[in-house]
Amino acid sequence: MNKNIRQLVENKRIHAAKKELEKMQAADIAEMIDGMNDKTALLVFRLLPKGVAAEVFSYMTREKQSELSVLVRESELEAIIGQLHFDDMIDCLEEMPANAVKRFLKNTSDVKRGLINEFLNYPDYSAGSIMTIEYVDLKAEMTIGAALEHVRQTAPDKETVYTCYVVDGSRVLKGIISLKDLVLANPVSSVEDVMKTNFISVNTGSDREEVAGIFKKYDLLAVPVTDRENRLVGIITIDDIVDVIDDENTEDFHRMAAIQPSDERYLAASVFDLARRRILWLLVLMVSATISGSIIRRYEDMLHTMVILASFIPMLMDTGGNAGSQSSTLIIRSIALGEIRLKDTPKVLWKEIRVSIIVGLVLGTVNFLRILYIERADMVVSVTVSVTLVITIVSAKLVGGFLPLIAKKLRIDPAIMASPVITTTVDAVSLITYFSVAAVIIGL
């Protein structure tokens, strides 16, 4: 389909291209345009009706939105962005070049410009930065019939009407009422009789990751956002929370891989930017790895006496690092999902101790038999390596389970304590354990 439309446009068969575009979903058109060069993308975009063009624009990547915002005429830009839902408009303006934003704002009303500037000033992590002002508000004294008529009149301009919000004259949030309850209620009853006063709300300064947890816990489609005086200033809808969850998961994956997080797509990022985001942590981990080197040098005499011990160092370090990474990954994910809290630290450590003993004994036994019968090492070396392996696995899993909780306590992202940090820590522990056990058992 993409190739067909591209060919139709290049062959100037505009009418046929329009017909093909009419068959496509807005999200698919946006994905197609994202993969086109500027000239072709602009041509295809201008074939779309105004309403469809705005919807397609909202689905495009931020990079392509920025590119098109510079290429289109001022009137086109105003028409496109003006038709977006308010929260999508804010997201677009945040990513656009400054000159494009100025072009748009100079033609907006003072009231709307003030709202936009207010939203742009909310911190990126806050609930205020992802909320929308397009909601249906009602008065408590309204009859159900009047409320339904109000919904019919205002619904076309709202992002969602499934839940309505009851406010007083000062816009203080008094209750919520679902569209289902409105439809089923007696038309002569008042909104106050039907509305729910026991509802969930968040503050404009609430962390958006915490808001995502509230959506998950209470199975919400939307949540009201209030200021410090409990005045309703906006709502957050489930589609925005899905984006937040996606962003937070991506950020955690980056941190767990020791990469500085970024919102930029991989293919859109420059080589130098990708390198910059990786170098810092790699430098830190490289320098920290000198600890392992210094431990090995400390026991050089032991290694010279029994060279075979050196051949098992990579296996011990790798297994310890892998064991620690398993625990840290599970704990970090459980913390992110709200399944583990700081008060659960003793339970976590006790569980990891029992798991690590089982895993350690199984791997230690298999390793003992492998070294003894396949590597043809003597009994003393086999016991030394296997005992070290058991202790290393127990230590690694405890470290992997404990460090993310420590990070949480210190208000640091637990994802930082993932694989690279765990591996570096466990490497040092496994080497010290190995040479200490060897000194005791072999007597070197």
Each residue of 374-397: pLDDT tens digit? 988 889 889 999 999 999 999 989
**What pLDDT band is residue 353 in, cutting at 50, 70 and 90?**
very high
Taking the chain, what is the end-to-end CA distance rounded to the nearest angstrom?
72
In the chain, the domains with their CATH numbers are: 2-121 (1.25.60.10), 136-238 (3.10.580.10), 289-441 (1.10.357.20)
pLDDT digit string, tens, across residues 223-277? 999 998 899 999 999 988 988 888 888 887 777 776 777 777 777 778 888 888 8
User: What are the φ/ψ torsions at residue 167 (nearest 5 degrees)?
Assistant: -125, 160
Comparing CA positions, the residue from 126, 236, 272, 140 lying closest to residue 194 is 140
Residue type, position 149, single letter: E
Q: Kindly give, in sequence order, each residue whose CB lies less than 8 Å from that of residue 274, ignoring residues fewer than 6 positions away.
A: 266
pLDDT digit string, tens, across residues 72-120? 777 777 777 777 777 778 777 777 777 777 777 776 777 777 777 778 7
Question: Quick check: 418 pLDDT over 70?
Answer: no
Say how many C-beta atoms besides its own lie within 10 A of residue 179's C-beta. Answer: 17
Comparing CA positions, the residue from 178, 154, 183, 149 lying closest to residue 166 is 178
CA 378 – CA 372 distance, rounded (Å)? 6
Q: Give me the residue label for tokens 């070396």.
A: 381
**What pLDDT band is residue 444 in, cutting at 50, 70 and 90?**
low
- Tell me what the mean pLDDT of segment 210-217 comes to: 90
DSSP lists the bridge partners of residue 430 as none
pTM: 0.67
pLDDT for residue 139: 94
- As a whole number, the mean pLDDT across the chain is 85
pLDDT for residue 426: 82
Question: Quick check: 369 pLDDT over 90?
Answer: yes
CA 172 – CA 227 distance, rounded (Å)? 9
pLDDT for residue 317: 87
**Percent above pLDDT 90 for the chain:** 28
**Burial, 426: exposed, middle or buried (Cβ in 10 Å; 0-12, 13-18, 19+)?**
buried
